[in-house]
Amino acid sequence: MDKSTELLLSKLDDKLNQQTKIITASVTKCVMEALDEKLKAITEENTQLKARISTLEQKINVMDKEKRKYNLVFFGLKELGKPEAELVDYIKDIVIETGIHLDSQEISNVYRIGKKDTNKNRPVIVSVTSMWKKHIILRNKNRFPPGIFIKEDFPKEILEKRKQLQTQVIEEKKKGNVAYLKYDEEANRQIQRQKKKGGVRLT
């Protein structure tokens, strides 16, 4: 093969390489643009789904709080194998013994929670028909017989936050401050100093 033929073949080879690079770059660009568009669509859809999930979670939390609003949790009530009607009377009698008037009609629902265990009494959820009656019972919780006590029915996340804040309550009390936990709708995590009352409220 003479030099002119070799030179021509070399030039053709270079040209083919250049065209190959151009085609490769063009195809790569098209593919990347298509992938970017697809990824953008997926990202937007994912963002919308997250927003919808967040909205649904908020609605569920509101519904859960609303459902628990009239509830009290009784601890230490003996498991007597009583049907619901008798359990209502049992709870009513215990409340009346503290000096609070309570009709059976003011209790809308009662049920035990947790697995049955012969060695301990399961807590009882008691739903009353008014917030006023609920607060009256709570204000007189120290009058209940020994071994029986009551608490508000908080959602799981609120219970976890209160558990965390309880350490701060202890620390504030060690400093000589009046400290207590209080439930509010936003479950505020911050310590709010109440200068007028000279205490600290943890909500």
Cβ 122 vs Cβ 116: under 8 Å: yes
pLDDT for res 201: 43
Spatial distance between the Cα atoms of 27 and 25, rounded to a whole number of angstroms: 6
State the fold for domain 69-153.
Alpha-Beta Plaits (3.30.70)
Q: Model-level pTM?
A: 0.58
pLDDT in single tens digits along all 203 residues of the chain: 566 766 666 767 777 777 787 888 777 888 888 888 888 888 888 888 888 888 888 888 788 888 888 999 999 888 876 666 788 888 999 999 989 999 888 999 998 888 877 778 889 999 999 999 999 999 998 899 888 989 888 777 776 776 667 677 777 777 777 666 665 443 333 334 333 444 444 44
pLDDT for res 193: 39
Could you report the per-residue pLDDT of 26-49, keeping only the tens digit for each? Answer: 778 888 888 888 888 888 888 888
- With 0-12 / 13-18 / 19 or more C-beta atoms within 10 angstroms meaning exposed / middle / buried, residue 79 is middle
pLDDT for res 24: 82
Cβ 178 vs Cβ 200: under 8 Å: yes
Categorise residue 187: left if φ over 0, alpha if ψ from -120 to 50, beta otherwise.
Answer: left
Q: CB under 8 Å to 27, separation ≥6 — which residues?
A: none
The ranges assigned to domains in the chain are 1-67, 69-153, 157-202
Cβ 113 vs Cβ 125: under 8 Å: yes
